C-alpha cells in the first residue's frame, strides 16, 4: 500500500545538533533519516510508527524511518529534515533561479520494513557509485 | 585551574549570539563548558574537542580508502586542480571569516572560477528579489527595542535559530518594548503548526506553496478591498484580522525563511513579501529581514559585494564578474556539466545539494576544506581539515542584519593545523607560481 503526499524539507533542532556533532555519527541518521507523517497519513499507509519506508519521487528514492510528526497536524504533508536523505528525492530543478525546489515535491511512501536506513556517508557513497537499489 | 572566556561569539547561525561564556583549561588547549549557547551552538564548540577529529589532510585512493598527505601536498593538488581547470567552481564560504573569503576571492579571480556561496540554496532567491525591488530593513537591535508586531513567514526559529526569539524578536524587553512578549503580537505563517507557531498569537496554516497568494491577499486586505472566502487555505476573516493587527502596530518586522525561498514562486514570493512591507509603511513603520542560516553567509555576500558587485553566483571565468542566477549558480552549473573542478570550503553541499548535483562533484577533481567529516568530504578527492573559525581562530562575521561582529578565538587548534586563511594564502601563492611558469 503506497500513499501520495507533498514533501517539504527543512531544519529541526535535532538535525542541527546532530549535524554539529558529526554527520558520520548514528545520531545524524536518527535525526534526519526519517520522514515525519501526519497520523491521518499513517492510517492510510496502514503502518505502525517507526517503520522503515521507501520514499520515491520523480527524481529518486530513499529508505527512511517513518515517524509521527511532532509539529502537526498537517494531513497530506510529509517532512524530511534537510540532509542527504531528503536530497535523494527533492526536485533539483531551479527554474532559472539557482534554487532547487526543496519544498513541495510530490512523493510516494510505501512500507519497506526490512530495508535498512543507510548512514549519511554510506548513502552518498553508494549513491555516487550507483550501488543503491 | 580553569578560566572563563566571556563575550564569546557563537559561530552557528545568522543570529551570531555574542554573549556566550566558555570555560577552558588553564593552558588554553581544552574546552570544558559552554554557557548561554543554544543546543546547536554548544554542540559546535564541544565537537571541536572530539577525540576522533581528523587533523591531517588526506587523499582518496583508487580503492576508495584514504591516505594521509601533508599540507604541502594538499596545497599542490588544490593549486594544480584550480589552474588546470577551465572553469572551476569554488563553493561554500559561509562558515568561515571574511578574511578567508577575501583571500579565496583573489584565488577565484586569478584562476577564473565561479564563486558561489550557500545563499544559492538558502536566501539566493531573496537576494534576487532585493535587487528587483529593494528592501526596507533594520537591525536586530531595532527589532528588540521597537518591534511590537512580529511576523514569521515560512521560518521556524525555534528549531533553526534557537535563541533568536529570546534575544531579539519575541521575549526580550527593549527600550520601547518594556513589556517583553506581552507587549508584542506574533503571527506565524507556515504550512505546519511548528514549535514557533505554538508561541504565536496567530498561526495561519497556509497551503504549502501558496505563499504568493496569501501575501497578495494581505495587500488587498490592507486596502479594505474584497477577498475570496478562502485564500491559500485561510478563511478571509482571519486574513483581514491579521492585516488589521499589523496595521495597528507601531513597528512591524517580517522575518522570512526557506518556506518562501525554496517553494515554487521563489524570488517572486519575496518580491511580494517586500511589497507587503512597503504597503505597511503607508500605515506604520515596517521592516523585513531574511533569517540567514550560516553564521557568515551574510559576510560572504558583503565581501563579494564590495569586491565584485554581486552577493553570490559570481562568474569570473571571463576575466570580469558576471552574475546571472539560474546560469552562474552552483546547482545549474553542476546539472549542465559546466564546471570541470569543484573546490568546497565552509559548507557541505554533499549533504545539502540535491543528489544529482552531489554525483557531479564526485565525478570531478575536487577538494573539500572542512574541520568535520561530512558527505562532501566523502565524495571529494582531497579533504583538508582546518581550524574552527569562531572557536580556534577569530575573524570578522556578519550577522543576519548585516552588522559585522568580530568572532573570538577561544582555544588553540590541534597542533600543526592550518586555518582557512593560511591554507588559502598558500594556495594563492602556489597558483601564482604555476601561472608564472
pLDDT digit string (tens) for B151-204?
Answer: 999 999 999 999 999 999 999 999 999 999 999 999 999 999 999 999 999 999
B362 contact A CB<8A: yes
B157 contact A CB<8A: no
pLDDT digit string (tens) for A32-54?
Answer: 999 999 999 999 999 999 999 99
**With 80 as the cut, is the pLDDT of residue A133 above it?**
no
pLDDT digit string (tens) for B34-86?
Answer: 999 999 999 999 999 999 999 999 999 999 899 999 999 999 999 999 999 99
Contact B355 A88 (CB under 8 A): yes
Specify the pLDDT at position A1: 80
Reported pTM: 0.97
Contact A10 B160 (CB under 8 A): yes
Q: B-chain residues within 8 Å CB-CB of A71?
A: 156, 192-195, 197
Which ranges of B207-321 does DSSP label H, i.e. alpha helix? 211-222, 236-247, 258-261, 267-280, 297-308
Specify the pLDDT at position A14: 97
φ/ψ bin of B326: left (φ > 0), alpha (ψ from -120 to 50), beta (otherwise): left
Q: Tell me if the bond preceding A73 is cis, omega within 30° of 0.
A: yes
How far is B324 from B344, CA to CA, in rounded Å? 21
Give the relative orientation of helices B420-436 and B98-111 as an angle to the nearest 10 degrees.
Answer: 20
Which ranges of B112-247 does DSSP label H, i.e. alpha helix? 124-133, 140-146, 157-160, 164, 211-222, 236-247
Identify the segments of chain B with pLDDT beneath 70: none
**With 80 as the cut, is the pLDDT of residue A131 above it?**
yes
Q: How far is CA B323 from the centre of its chain?
A: 19
pLDDT digit string (tens) for A71-127?
Answer: 999 999 999 999 999 999 999 999 999 999 999 999 999 999 999 999 999 999 999
Q: Which grid cell is B263?
A: 517553494
Q: B-chain residues within 8 Å CB-CB of A22?
A: 47, 50, 372-373
Best residue of B313, B355, B357, B378 to probe chain A, by most A CBs closer than 10 Å? B355
Nearest C-alpha in A relative to B128: A97
Nearest C-alpha in A relative to B331: A98
ipTM of the complex: 0.97
Amino acid at each position: 500500500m503506497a500513499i501520495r503526499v507533498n514533501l517539504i524539507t527543512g531544519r529541526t533542532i535535532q538535525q542541527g545538533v546532530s549535524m554539529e556533532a558529526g554527520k558520520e555519527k548514528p545520531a545524524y541518521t536518527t535525526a534526519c533519516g526519517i520522514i515525519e507523517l501526519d497520523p491521518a497519513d499513517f492510517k492510510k499507509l496502514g503502518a505502525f510508527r517507526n517503520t522503515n519506508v521507501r520514499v520515491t519521487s520523480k527524481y529518486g528514492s530513499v529508505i527512511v524511518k517513518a515517524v509521527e510528526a511532532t509539529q502537526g497536524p498537517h494531513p497530506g504533508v510529509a517532512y524530511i529534515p534537510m540532509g542527504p536523505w531528503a536530497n535523494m528525492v527533492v526536485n533539483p530543478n531551479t527554474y532559472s533561479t539557482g534554487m532547487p525546489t526543496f519544498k513541495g515535491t510530490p512523493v510516494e511512501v510505501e512500507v519497506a520494513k526490512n530495508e535498512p536506513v543507510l548512514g549519511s556517508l554510506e548513502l552518498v557513497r553508494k549513491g555516487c557509485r550507483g550501488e543503491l537499489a | 585551574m580553569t578560566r572563563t572566556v566571556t563575550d564569546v561569539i557563537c559561530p552557528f547561525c545568522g543570529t551570531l549570539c555574542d554573549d556566550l561564556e566558555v570555560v577552558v583549561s588553564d593552558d588554553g588547549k581544552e574546552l570544558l563548558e559552554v554557557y548561554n549557547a543554544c543546543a546547536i551552538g554548544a554542540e559546535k564548540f564541544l565537537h571541536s574537542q572530539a577525540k576522533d577529529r581528523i587533523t591531517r589532510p588526506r587523499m582518496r585512493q583508487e580503492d576508495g580508502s584514504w591516505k594521509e598527505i601533508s599540507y604541502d601536498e594538499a596545497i599542490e593538488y588544490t593549486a594544480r586542480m584550480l589552474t588546470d581547470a577551465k572553469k572551476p567552481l569554488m563553493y561554500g564560504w559561509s562558515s568561515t571569516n571574511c578574511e578567508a573569503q577575501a583571500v579565496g576571492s583573489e584565488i577565484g579571480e586569478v584562476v577564473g572560477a565561479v564563486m558561489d556561496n550557500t545563499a544559492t540554496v538558502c536566501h539566493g532567491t531573496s537576494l534576487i528579489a532585493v535587487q528587483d525591488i529593494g528592501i526596507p530593513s533594520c537591525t536586530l537591535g531595532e527589532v528588540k527595542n521597537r518591534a511590537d508586531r512580529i511576523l514569521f513567514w515560512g521560518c521556524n526559529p525555534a528549531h533553526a535559530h534557537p535563541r533568536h526569539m529570546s534575544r531579539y524578536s519575541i521575549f526580550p524587553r527593549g527600550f520601547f518594548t518594556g513589556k517583553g512578549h506581552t507587549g508584542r503580537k506574533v503571527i506565524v505563517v507556515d504550512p505546519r503548526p511548528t514549535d514557533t507557531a505554538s508561541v504565536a498569537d496567530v498561526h495561519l496554516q497556509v497551503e504549502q506553496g501558496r505563499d504568493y497568494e496569501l501575501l497578495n491577499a494581505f495587500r488587498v486586505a490592507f486596502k479594505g478591498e474584497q477577498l475570496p472566502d478562502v485564500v491559500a487555505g485561510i478563511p478571509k476573516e482571519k486574513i483581514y484580522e491579521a492585516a488589521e493587527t499589523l496595521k495597528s502596530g507601531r513597528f512591524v518586522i517580517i522575518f522570512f525563511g526557506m518556506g518562501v525561498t525554496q517553494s515554487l514562486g521563489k524570488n517572486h514570493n519575496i518580491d511580494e513579501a517586500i511589497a507587503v512591507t512597503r504597503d505597511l509603511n503607508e500605515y506604520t513603520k515596517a521592516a523585513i529581514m531574511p533569517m540567514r542560516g550560516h553564521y557568515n553567509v551574510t559576510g560572504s555576500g558583503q565581501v563579494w559585494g564590495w569586491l565584485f558587485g554581486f552577493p553570490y553566483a559570481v562568474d569570473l571565468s571571463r576575466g570580469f564578474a558576471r552574475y546571472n542566477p539560474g546560469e552562474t549558480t552552483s546547482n545549474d552549473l553542476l546539472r549542465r556539466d559546466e564546471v570541470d573542478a569543484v573546490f568546497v570550503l565552509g559548507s557541505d553541499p554533499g549533504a545539502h545539494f540535491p543528489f544529482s548535483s552531489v554525483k557531479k562533484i564526485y565525478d570531478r577533481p575536487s577538494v573539500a576544506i572542512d574541520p568535520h567529516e561530512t558527505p562532501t568530504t566523502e565524495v571529494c578527492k582531497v579533504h583538508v581539515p582546518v581550524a574552527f573559525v569562531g572557536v580556534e581562530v577569530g575573524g570578522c562575521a556578519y550577522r543576519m542584519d548585516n552588522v559585522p561582529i568580530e568572532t573570538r578565538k577561544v582555544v588553540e587548534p590541534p597542533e600543526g593545523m592550518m586555518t582557512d586563511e593560511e591554507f588559502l594564502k598558500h594556495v594563492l601563492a602556489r597558483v601564482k607560481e604555476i601561472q608564472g611558469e
